[in-house]
Amino acid sequence: DLTYFFSERIAQLNSLGVNDVIIDPGFGFSKTLMQNFELMAYLKYFHIFDEPILVGISRKSMIYRLLGISPEESLNGTTVLNSVALLSGASILRVHDVKEAVECVLLTSQIQQFDHQTTQ
């Protein structure tokens, strides 16, 4: 399971003096379509590592295969999943379409601002 994998790797890196770690769950790497969506659904649990979470889903096959479109047509799906990732705790996005990703970050940041106010 990925939580065990990351906890082991982080401990190993820390023991070597590496303390700046970024969690990348690896969307698309050796995963089925449904495993990628399951990973997205559980992304919020990666905060237990107290490390920045990177999500790279831009134009991934999980988007265009499910929607039955080409990778070039997957901007809307990418933006939706980037929004979900940010609202689930991701702090770094790897993207192809920078302008749209910046807009996504600005909009989700506004929502998170109010969410943090209600939880404090």
pLDDT digits (tens, 9 = 90+) for 50-95: 999 999 999 999 999 999 999 999 999 999 999 999 999 999 999 9
C-alpha atoms less than 13 angstroms from C-alpha of 66 in its C-beta half-sphere: 16
Tokens 């909009």 belong to 107
Residue 116 has pLDDT above 90, yes or no: no
114: left (phi over 0), alpha (psi -120 to 50) or beta: alpha
Provide the pLDDT for residue 119: 58
pTM attached to this predicted model: 0.90
Active site residues: 60, 94
- The two tokens of residue 47 are 């905060």
pLDDT at position 10 is 96
Strand partners, 55: 93
If you average pLDDT over residues 27-48, what whole number do you get? 95
Q: Which domains does the chain have, with CATH numbers?
A: 2-11+21-119 (3.20.20.20)
Q: Report how far residue 40's alpha carbon sits from residue 61's, in angstroms, rounded to the nearest whole number.
A: 14
Split at pLDDT 50, 70, 90, the class of 120 is low
Q: How many CB atoms lie within 10 A of CB 91?
A: 15
What average pLDDT does this structure show over 30-50? Answer: 96
Q: Which of 32, 35, 30, 82 lies closest to 57, judged by CA?
A: 82
- Residue 35 sits at φ, ψ, to 5 deg, of -65, -35
pLDDT (0 to 100) of residue 1: 80
pLDDT at 98: 98
CA 36 to chain CA centroid, Å, is 11
Report how far residue 24's alpha carbon sits from residue 27's, in angstroms, rounded to the nearest whole number: 8
Q: What is the pLDDT of residues 1-35, one digit of tens each?
A: 889 999 999 999 999 999 999 999 999 999 999 99
